[in-house]
Structure 1
Amino acid sequence: MLGHEHSDNDLSGTVHGPAIQSGKVYGGIHFHTEAAPEAAPEARGPKPPWQLPPSIRITGRSAEVSTLEGHRARATREGHPTLAAVSGLGGVGKTAVALAWLHTIRPHFPGGQLYADLGAQSPGGPVDPGEVVGRFLRALGVPIPQVPPVLAERVALYRSLTADRRLVVMLDDAATAAQVRPLLPAGQCVTAVTSRRRLPGLSVDGGHVIHLEPLGREAAVELLDSTLADGRVAEQPEEARALVDLCAGLPLAVRIAGARLAARPRHGITTMVRALTEEHDRLEALAIDGDHDVRAALDLSYQGLPAGAAHLYRLLGLHPGREFGGPVADAVLGSDAADALDVLYDASLLIDAGQAAGAERYRFHDLVRLHALAQADRHESPEERAAALRRIGYHYLANATRAEELIDPQHRTMARDFGPGPVVDAGFGDGRAGDEEAADAALDWLEHELPNLMAVLRIARPAGIPALGWQLADAMWPLFLRRKFYEEWREAHREGLLAAEECGDEAAVCRMLTSGGLGELDMDCPEQALVMFERAADSFLRTGDTLGHARTLNYRGLAHQRLGEPDRAAGLFGRAAAELPDRGDRRAGALARFNLADVALSRGLYEEAVRDAEAARDVLREAGDTYNTARADALAGRAYLGLGRLDLAEAGLRAALDALRPMSADHETARALGGLALVSEGRGQPGLARRCYREALVLYSAVGGPGSADAQEVRDRLGALGPEAGENGTADDGDAAG
């Protein structure tokens, strides 16, 4: 089917789910659970974030931790923020040292702890600082709609929020000093940065940079001993020293070698020493900074895998994202991968990345992933590698489509291609379209998987599967609409547009233009939105798709309305309202009539607004569109207010409020409350009006910020009501909003 329809005006509703932090390999560490010290709560604001990975015990790094703490003490005495960077080879224990230090100072920083993996070694490239600042702002309690779209504005808000807050920030795996600078908090905060590169540029910002060298022999032997924990190191001290020498003192290599020995309790350490020595000449394919012994340890660990686990290891190296769950492994393997995943995890080749929706998630250490990729290149045919990548992509597409169906059944899904194999269910919840619990679970799944979805979308065209790209962008529509990931919204539709053009699929091109245009409209770029809508309209005309063209009338009207051109907007809405029912889409025609009523209301044409709003409401109710039915009720109620018909105004506004509250549609709920407050004012009930205004102010501040125009208007109305003293304590004590 050509063309599509969205909930056209709903560009502000938001829901926000929990933030999920990835795991990471920490060389030379041992995890243990430790109760967090009780921190003093902030005087105001949301609960402080506590995002650091688990507390750890490190080996042979006490001097480095003492150096970092000494730097903090000096900075605190001098009244400066603390910035420290820990650099070194991958697997040397940079993150372990930083975490050991930060956990010791947690009691002194009740403002919380923020953590971000900056992805210098990620296959998708380093993380954009704007994305991280946005994530930090949300963790600090900023509602998603209030997060500014521009990096400079995000940074300014972040610095304002941290100026009087004692906060710890950890920026893991940084690529450059320039990537780090926008993420530095203000005030008496502590920031720790880790990077494989030395970052002398941070010295300009007052940072203290330390570079970690591999562990000394005795510290590495201690790590091997604690990994084995069976007395073999004490029995074979010389062999133990020879083994850690072959591991070049790198904690990752020591742990991998130790894990292999631990799995073979009858073998002497000499066996591993001999094996590593024999592997030296075979490791050039994975030459990472000259660490031949690390590659030898990885090769040996890989060679000990059963065939099925080795096959999964190679194919998972192709995964374009940073972490994955069991269903992805099932999709890659084409069968149940649980046993093979357990083998890889036990062999220290996979890292526990926490849980999502009750399921375990995993990730590779950067060096291990490179090793897996090298083994895939060596042992898998180009055809099998391409097929595995397609299975990964189709898995994400199929489950994103399922989520789309649960969240937004009104959104017409275009044809989707899920490939030849069976689709593996991601397990984010059962339910039917319209089921609020199932829809919330589906939204949470989309949000958590967003980095993976975007990574798949980015590689779709280079991998020769462009249709996957635009279809994935289309399937993410409900997430973009409700949770406002603006940067991803824009990128996904730009890449989706290129993919649709490469496919030569004009219907898909138009879908990317209209969905992307609505995103531009939501980001307050109506000029760009109008360009996209008009291009889609021209395409529909060329292909003879009259229904698709009629839908663009509505979109173009929205753009002109945002541009302050109500006459042009009303003309386009009127045409859409007349043409769409004749083309077979009564619901879209009703939305156009709703938009027409909105223009009439803004002009004070209350009779016209009532007529169009109620006509739209009746069709939308018949179509099962509960959300837009409620919006039409509220619009009619506000129009009746203009006519002075308070009973009808209250009926419409209360009906809207009853429907909107369970949907967490804060902006529309606040508008309905504002209307009820005006009804109460008209009846001489200032107490009821105040209660409605105050609740509306809370909601407007949540979605648009306390300084938004809507919030200020409500604040002005409250001020105009005057003091509460002497108000009637009987008639005014009812709950106008309940």
Structure 2
Amino acid sequence: MPSEGHRSHNELRGDVYGSVVQAGSVHGGIHIGAPTPPVRQTPWQFPPLVRVVDRSSELAALERHRARAARDGRPALAAVSGLGGVGKTTVALSWLYTLRRQFPGGQLHADLGAQSPDGPEHPGEVLARFLRALGVPAQQVPTMLAERTVMYRSLTADRSLVVLLDDAATAAQVRPLLPGGSSVTAVTSRRRLPGLTVDGCYPVHLEPLASDAAVELLTDTLADGRVAEEPENAQALVELCAGLPLAVRIAGARLAARPGRSIGTMVRSLAAEHQRLEALAIDGDHNVRAALDLSYQALPPSAARLYRLLGLHPGREFDTPVASALLIAEGTEGAAGTEGAEGTEGAEGAAARSLDVLHEASLLVDAAGERHRFHDLVRLHAAARAREDESPEERAAAARRIADHYLASATRAEEIIDPQHRTMARDYGSASVVVADVGPGSEAALDWLERELPNLMAVIHQARSAGFPTVCWQLADALWPLFLRRKFYDDWCAAHREGLAAARDLEDTAAECRMLTSGGVGELGAGNPDRALEMFEQAARLFLGRGDRLGQARTLNYRGLALQRLGRTDEAVAYFARAATELPANGDERAGGLAGLNLADVALATGQAEEAIRHAGVARTTLRDAGDTYNAARATTLLGRAHLVLDRLDQAGDLLSSALATLRGMAADYETARALGSLAEVSERRGRTDLARTHYREALDLYSSVGRSGSDEAEAARCRLRRLEQDEPPDER
């Protein structure tokens, strides 16, 4: 012991390793021992491997990423995202299992529990398990997350380790679990985890299996020959499972449990959409609905509401304005058909944010043209959640907002394309309606209508049973410019059949007459002149019963067209002549001009070219004065064709070129093709065969684009082009 007054000084300098004790006075009963050093262990924690089907491109991409990282001397990190049940873990394991020989340091695996009812795992708890698996005694695992992370990185710095982090919730949850050294880490998540990009992460997003691959998976699961015995039913079964591997395996497992059950029986049990999710479950364990419920329950309230309301959308894909329409507040002031209505801006922002969340959660996938779509089983799940979580009144209001959006947007397109069309009044279910940006110009508006046609037809088919029959016939009416110019005859006739039934349900005679006349024109184009004539005559009787002389006069034109197609030319001419007189007398100069155009067409068809020129000239003037540019261009084409018959090539060329310039700007492909065919003939007669061939080819392309490649005009152009190509000198070919 030092004497009183004597000071003792001890000092440690530099790094100190191992256990150190520095004490003043030490009295008995004290035992000092060094902590047990970590025992180096090699963990092999991966779950069993399940056979992967049709993921070779994704696996190859993952391996290329690992090889690049190895060349650069850095760890490899990849994230596999996708819908629940799409096979993310299977793909990740299939890749990582191939690396065992190259990475002898072991395999670590953790389920991060993003979909767990108790919430995601804290990374500190996962690190504690990893450290113990790597040989750190439990009593030496640090208590703080930062200290655990440092120890984990130190222990893995010199190991060739492979790590699988399943079902991650966020990038922040993953980041502390990334090992050091030259390790490889795969993360799976239903979300895309863009935050990991800063850590050098390579993203792979999985889509459902293609049909053939899904059949292969079913064969692998069932493995008893039934797929080979029932190939068509097997194909139907995987289509009902929409290529989702979990659904295919469940269906196969259920069949395997019933050796005497045919695949066709399973197909019939899944065919009813409202029962399909319930049928795709087995043993209360693997369950498609449960997998989707977990993703749904993790959504924030605003995104969850949009998800279930989008389940009410009747079509397969949609754009952002539809989502805005679903979120716009009821009773918001604003006028339908007016962009920038109060309230829509907030709905657009909320819709965009919620759509992003749904994409990140893999509940939506991208479609062409910045559009969105559901996987088929997800769509059924969203609709089921709407039935469970929204009241009948809320569901009805949402369905009406969707219908109003499409009706208002189609009407806006109609106004742009054909301002002369006598648009009837539109009835909307709320004060504020979201209108899509369908312009600018008629071609863009036509493209919008064509792109949305499946959705528009779905609304038409749904409207009567959903309780808004006015939308049914009004939406069919709004599609007139598309049907007239792009000739979707099947949809044209189907839309007007539904619209006619709706008008009759409503006992709305004016709407019934519109559906009969517009629908009759569609039947005429579809090659059903008898049906068309019957519809026109029904409309004439209704107009007559209402005392509507103008409406009855308009049917004269239509009846004449049907009679012309039926080969009853004299009767057709008589109806056209009456229409040309009675329509202007009852206040419709434009419709009278159309009757004159029809007279010119008959005259040209019967070899009366001069008579055709007279009628077409009057019709063109009348239609121009009425502002009907489209039909005035049609009259100009007919004038050009009549001069061509009379071998007046200069006049014909000028007229046809003028008509062509107008029609091209209106996206009127059928009428453009007719003008091109006649202009090609002018060029042919002038000896300009190169130009003639060019015009004929373009005309044929346009006929094909509107489904008229088998028409008389198209066949005539095809024959003339074939003759010119046979006469073409070898050096020009």
Question: TM-score category by the smaller chain?
Answer: 0.5 to 0.7
- Per-residue CA distance 1:445-502 (angstroms, 9 max, x = gap): 2222222222222221111111111111111222222233222222111111111111
Give 1:663 shift: 4.2
* d(CA) in 2 for partners of 1:524, 1:304: 54
Question: Residue 306 and residue 584 in structure 1: after superposition, are their counterparts in 2 closer, same or farther (change >3 A)?
Answer: same
- Per-residue CA distance 1:427-448 (angstroms, 9 max, x = gap): 344x3xxx3xxx2222222222
1:353 to 361, 366, 376: 366
Return the letter of the residue paired with 1:565.
Answer: R
Provide the residue aligned with 1:384 in structure 2: 394
Matched, 1:638 2:641: yes
Question: Residue 209 and residue 333 in structure 1: after superposition, are their counterparts in 2 closer, same or farther (change >3 A)?
Answer: closer
* d(CA) in 1 for partners of 2:59, 2:551: 58
Provide the residue aligned with 2:444 in structure 1: 441
Matched, 1:591 2:591: no
SS in 1 for 2:466: coil
Question: Residue 389 and residue 520 in structure 1: after superposition, are their counterparts in 2 closer, same or farther (change >3 A)?
Answer: same
Provide the residue aligned with 1:411 in structure 2: 421
Provide the residue aligned with 1:539 in structure 2: 542
Q: How does 1:457-476 map to 2 (within 5 A)?
A: 457-476=460-479
1:316 to 307, 310, 314: 310
Return the letter of the residue paired with 1:425.
Answer: V
Question: Residue 354 and residue 647 in structure 1: after superposition, are their counterparts in 2 closer, same or farther (change >3 A)?
Answer: closer
The answer to whether the 8 A contact 1:29-1:59 is kept is: no
SS in 2 for 1:461: helix
Give 1:385 shift: 1.5
Matched, 1:510 2:513: yes
The answer to whether the 8 A contact 2:673-2:702 is kept is: no
Question: Residue 677 and residue 586 in structure 1: after superposition, are their counterparts in 2 closer, same or farther (change >3 A)?
Answer: same
Return the letter of the residue paired with 1:532.
Answer: M
For CA contacts below 8 A with separation 6 or more, give which structure has more relative contact order. Answer: 1
Provide the residue aligned with 2:173 in structure 1: none
- Looking at CA atoms only, which structure, 1 or 2, has the larger radius of gyration? 2
Matched, 1:491 2:501: no
The answer to whether the 8 A contact 1:203-1:209 is kept is: no
Question: Residue 523 and residue 723 in structure 1: after superposition, are their counterparts in 2 closer, same or farther (change >3 A)?
Answer: closer
Provide the residue aligned with 2:65 in structure 1: none
The answer to whether the 8 A contact 2:53-2:213 is kept is: no
Give 1:640 shift: 3.6
* d(CA) in 1 for partners of 2:667, 2:447: 15
- Per-residue CA distance 1:216-236 (angstroms, 9 max, x = gap): xxxx9xx9xxxxxxxxxxxxx
Give 1:567 shift: 0.5
* d(CA) in 2 for partners of 1:63, 1:209: 28
* d(CA) in 1 for partners of 2:294, 2:430: 35
2:384 to 369, 374, 385: 374
Question: Residue 691 and residue 381 in structure 1: after superposition, are their counterparts in 2 closer, same or farther (change >3 A)?
Answer: closer
Return the letter of the residue paired with 1:321.
Answer: G
Provide the residue aligned with 2:14 in structure 1: none
SS in 2 for 1:573: helix
Matched, 1:396 2:409: no
Return the letter of the residue paired with 2:372.
Answer: R
SS in 2 for 1:423: coil
Provide the aligned length of Structure 1 versus Structure 2. 486
Provide the residue aligned with 1:552 in structure 2: 555
| RMSD (CA atoms) | 4.5
* d(CA) in 2 for partners of 1:711, 1:285: 47
Provide the residue aligned with 1:604 in structure 2: 607
SS in 1 for 2:419: coil
Matched, 1:342 2:356: yes
Question: Residue 62 and residue 483 in structure 1: after superposition, are their counterparts in 2 closer, same or farther (change >3 A)?
Answer: farther
Give 1:603 shift: 2.2
Return the letter of the residue paired with 1:343.
Answer: V
The answer to whether the 8 A contact 2:492-2:519 is kept is: yes
Question: Residue 353 and residue 484 in structure 1: after superposition, are their counterparts in 2 closer, same or farther (change >3 A)?
Answer: farther
- Per-residue CA distance 1:114-149 (angstroms, 9 max, x = gap): xxxxxxxxxxxxxxxxxxxxxxxxxxxxxxxxxxxx
- Per-residue CA distance 1:496-550 (angstroms, 9 max, x = gap): 1111111111111111111111111111111111111111111111111111111
Provide the residue aligned with 1:424 in structure 2: 434
The answer to whether the 8 A contact 1:171-1:194 is kept is: no
SS in 2 for 1:361: strand
Q: How does 1:80-159 map to 2 (within 5 A)?
A: none
* d(CA) in 2 for partners of 1:195, 1:414: 54
Return the letter of the residue paired with 2:309.
Answer: L
The answer to whether the 8 A contact 1:172-1:193 is kept is: no
Return the letter of the residue paired with 1:466.
Answer: P
Q: How does 1:696-707 map to 2 (within 5 A)?
A: 696=696, 698-700=698-700, 702-703=702-703
* d(CA) in 1 for partners of 2:302, 2:577: 63
SS in 1 for 2:279: coil
The answer to whether the 8 A contact 1:31-1:57 is kept is: no
* d(CA) in 2 for partners of 1:376, 1:205: 35
The answer to whether the 8 A contact 2:472-2:499 is kept is: yes
1:568 to 567, 571, 578: 571
Question: Residue 463 and residue 519 in structure 1: after superposition, are their counterparts in 2 closer, same or farther (change >3 A)?
Answer: same
Question: Residue 328 and residue 640 in structure 1: after superposition, are their counterparts in 2 closer, same or farther (change >3 A)?
Answer: closer
Question: Residue 577 and residue 202 in structure 1: after superposition, are their counterparts in 2 closer, same or farther (change >3 A)?
Answer: farther
Question: Residue 193 and residue 505 in structure 1: after superposition, are their counterparts in 2 closer, same or farther (change >3 A)?
Answer: farther
**Structure 2, unaligned stretches of length 5 or more?**
1-51, 62-81, 95-206, 239-243, 252-274, 329-346
SS in 2 for 1:353: strand
Question: Residue 33 and residue 620 in structure 1: after superposition, are their counterparts in 2 closer, same or farther (change >3 A)?
Answer: farther
The answer to whether the 8 A contact 1:518-1:529 is kept is: yes
Provide the residue aligned with 1:262 in structure 2: none
Give 1:620 shift: 1.2
* d(CA) in 2 for partners of 1:442, 1:403: 5
* d(CA) in 1 for partners of 2:402, 2:279: 27
2:629 to 626, 630, 637: 626
Provide the residue aligned with 2:687 in structure 1: 687
Matched, 1:521 2:534: no
Provide the residue aligned with 2:189 in structure 1: none
The answer to whether the 8 A contact 1:27-1:250 is kept is: no
- Per-residue CA distance 1:708-736 (angstroms, 9 max, x = gap): 5435545666799999799xxxxxxxxxx
* d(CA) in 1 for partners of 2:229, 2:693: 51
Give 1:579 shift: 0.9
Percentage of identical aligned residues: 54
The answer to whether the 8 A contact 2:539-2:555 is kept is: yes
**Structure 1, unaligned stretches of length 5 or more?**
1-25, 36-52, 65-169, 175-189, 213-219, 224-243, 252-283, 727-738
Question: Residue 723 and residue 248 in structure 1: after superposition, are their counterparts in 2 closer, same or farther (change >3 A)?
Answer: closer
